[in-house]
Chains A and B, each alone.
Chain A
Amino acid sequence: MKTIIEFKNVTKSFGTQKVLDDVSCKIQEGKTTVILGPSGTGKSVFFKLLVGLLKPDSGSIFVSGKDITKMSEKDLMETRKKFGMLFQDGALFDSLNVADNIAFPLRQHTKKSNAEIDKIVSHKLAQVGLPTVHHKLPSELSGGMRKRVGFARAIALDPDIVLFDEPHSGLDPVMSDSIDKLILKMQHELGSTFVVISHDIAGSFQIADFMGMLYKSRLIEFGSKEYIQNSENPILKQFFSRSSEGPM
Chain B
Amino acid sequence: MVSSIKLSFINFLTGLGRMNLFTQKMLITLFTTRVPLNIVLQNMYDIGIKTLPVLAAVCLFVGTNMAFVGYQIFKQFGGQDLLGVYVGLSCIREMAPILVGSIMAAKPGTDISATIATMRVKEQIDALEVMAVDPFWFLLVPRLIAFILVAPLLVIFADFFCIFAAYMTAVFQLHLNSGKFFEDMVTYLQVIDFFKGITKGFVSSLLVCIISCYFGYNSAPGPKGVSKAINTAVVLEASLIVVVNYFMTEVMYGVQ
> Interface-forming stretch among B14-22, B120-128, B173-181?
B120-128
Check B123–A80 contact: CB distance below 8 A: no
Check B132–A53 contact: CB distance below 8 A: no
Contacts of B124 on A, CB cut-off 8 Å? Answer: 91-94
Q: Is B133 an interface residue (CB 8 A)?
A: yes
Cα–Cα distance between A99 and B172 once the two chains are bound (Å): 57
CB distance from A69 to the nearest CB of B (A): 16
Residues 61-89 of chain A, each 1 if its beta carbon lies under 8 Å from chain B, else 0: 00000000000000001101101110111
Check A53–B131 contact: CB distance below 8 A: no
Contacts of B134 on A, CB cut-off 8 Å? Answer: 77
Q: Is A113 an interface residue (CB 8 A)?
A: no
Check A80–B130 contact: CB distance below 8 A: yes
Check B131–A105 contact: CB distance below 8 A: yes
Contacts of A214 on B, CB cut-off 8 Å? Answer: none
Cα–Cα distance between A105 and B129 once the two chains are bound (Å): 11
Q: Is A51 an interface residue (CB 8 A)?
A: yes
Check B127–A81 contact: CB distance below 8 A: no
Interface extent on B, as a size class?
10 to 19
Check B126–A87 contact: CB distance below 8 A: yes
Check A85–B127 contact: CB distance below 8 A: yes
Contacts of A53 on B, CB cut-off 8 Å? Answer: 126, 129-130
Cα–Cα distance between A89 and B221 once the two chains are bound (Å): 14
Contacts of A81 on B, CB cut-off 8 Å? Answer: 132
Given contacts A89-B122, A91-B122, contact A80 B129 (CB under 8 A): yes
Check A104–B122 contact: CB distance below 8 A: no
Cα–Cα distance between A40 and B131 once the two chains are bound (Å): 25
Contacts of A48 on B, CB cut-off 8 Å? Answer: 126
Question: How many contacts between A and B, using CB within 8 angstroms?
Answer: 45
Contacts of B123 on A, CB cut-off 8 Å? Answer: 87-89, 91
Check B129–A51 contact: CB distance below 8 A: yes
Interface extent on A, as a size class?
20 to 34
Check A87–B127 contact: CB distance below 8 A: yes
Check B126–A91 contact: CB distance below 8 A: yes
Contacts of A94 on B, CB cut-off 8 Å? Answer: 118, 122, 124
Q: Is A109 an interface residue (CB 8 A)?
A: yes
Check B131–A80 contact: CB distance below 8 A: yes
Cα–Cα distance between A89 and B118 once the two chains are bound (Å): 13
Residues 109-143 of chain B, each 1 if its beta carbon lies under 8 Å from chain A, else 0: 00000000011001110110111111000000000
Contacts of A243 on B, CB cut-off 8 Å? Answer: none
Q: Is A108 an interface residue (CB 8 A)?
A: yes
CB distance from B46 to the nearest CB of A (A): 11
Kindly report which residue of chain A lies nearest to residue B131, judged by CB atoms: A105
CB distance from B42 to the nearest CB of A (A): 10
Given contacts A91-B124, A93-B124, contact A85 B132 (CB under 8 A): no
Check A104–B131 contact: CB distance below 8 A: yes
Cα–Cα distance between A53 and B214 once the two chains are bound (Å): 18
Cα–Cα distance between A105 and B130 once the two chains are bound (Å): 10
* Residue among B123, B124, B126, B127 having the largest count of chain A Cβ atoms under 10 Å: B127
Check B132–A91 contact: CB distance below 8 A: no
Check A80–B132 contact: CB distance below 8 A: yes
Contacts of A91 on B, CB cut-off 8 Å? Answer: 122-124, 126-127
Contacts of B131 on A, CB cut-off 8 Å? Answer: 80, 104-105, 108-109
CB distance from A17 to the nearest CB of B (A): 16
Which chain A residues (23-76) contact chain B, with CB distance < 8 Å? Answer: 48, 51, 53
Residues 174-202 of chain A, each 1 if its beta carbon lies under 8 Å from chain B, else 0: 00000000000000000000000000000
CB distance from B193 to the nearest CB of A (A): 41
Contacts of A78 on B, CB cut-off 8 Å? Answer: 132
Listed in ascending order, the chain A residues whose CB lies under 8 Å from chain B are 48, 51, 53, 77-78, 80-81, 83-85, 87-89, 91-94, 104-105, 108-109, 163
The 6 closest A-B pairs by CB, nearest first: A91-B127, A80-B132, A91-B123, A85-B130, A77-B132, A87-B123
A-B contact pairs, 30 of them (CB 8 A): A48-B126, A51-B129, A51-B130, A53-B126, A53-B129, A53-B130, A77-B134, A78-B132, A80-B130, A80-B132, A81-B132, A83-B130, A85-B130, A87-B126, A87-B127, A88-B123, A89-B123, A91-B124, A91-B126, A92-B124, A93-B119, A93-B124, A93-B127, A94-B118, A94-B124, A105-B131, A105-B133, A108-B132, A108-B133, A109-B132
